[in-house]
């Protein structure tokens, strides 16, 4: 039995939306050497460069080993650079390169465009209400 769209569980709809968004972001950015999982990392570095790998892994809620693989690929593509922390040479600080900053601008523009596309038939009031509902869902899940 197939349920009408209005009767599908909300978690299933949310899962579909997240998967679809992920696919669209990957499709749009793949040609620019930006791969899945990298946009949040790039945005975090653009906001606060010079974080250690451990700080980044905690902030992004990913395993340090996963982050290492991502950073190795991004370093190879010229998007990030690692520098030893002058106070503790065992710690590497991560920074976006000039190419990384150019690419993060493209990432931001792409994410903004996809959000506008997703919300194109919403009024300003509906968008604000939707955002408040999503924040409430996030808060409920965080608690």
Whether the full predicted model's pTM is greater than 0.75, yes or no, is: yes
Alpha helices in 1-123 (DSSP H): 10-29, 38-47, 53-60, 64-76, 98-118
Residues 69 and 50: their CA atoms lie apart, in Å, by 18
pLDDT digits (tens, 9 = 90+) for 98-139: 999 999 999 999 999 999 999 999 999 999 999 999 999 999
Residues 107 and 105: their CA atoms lie apart, in Å, by 5
Structural domains present in the chain: 5-142 (1.10.10.10)
């Amino acid at each position: 039995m197939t349920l009408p769209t209005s009767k599908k569980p909300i978690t299933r709809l949310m899962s579909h939306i997240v998967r679809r968004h992920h696919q669209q972001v990957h499709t749009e950015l793949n040609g620019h050497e930006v791969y899945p999982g990298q946009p949040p990392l790039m945005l975090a570095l653009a906001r606060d460069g010079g974080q250690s790998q451990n700080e980044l892994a905690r902030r992004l809620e990913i395993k340090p080993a996963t982050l290492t693989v991502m950073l190795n690929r991004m370093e190879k593509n010229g998007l990030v650079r690692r520098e030893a922390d002058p106070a503790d040479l065992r710690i590497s600080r991560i920074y976006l390169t000039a190419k990384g900053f150019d690419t993060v601008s493209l990432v931001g523009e792409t994410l903004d465009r996809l959000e506008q596309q997703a919300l194109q038939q919403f009024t300003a009031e509906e968008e604000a209400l939707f955002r408040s509902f999503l924040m409430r869902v996030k808060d409920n899940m965080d608690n």
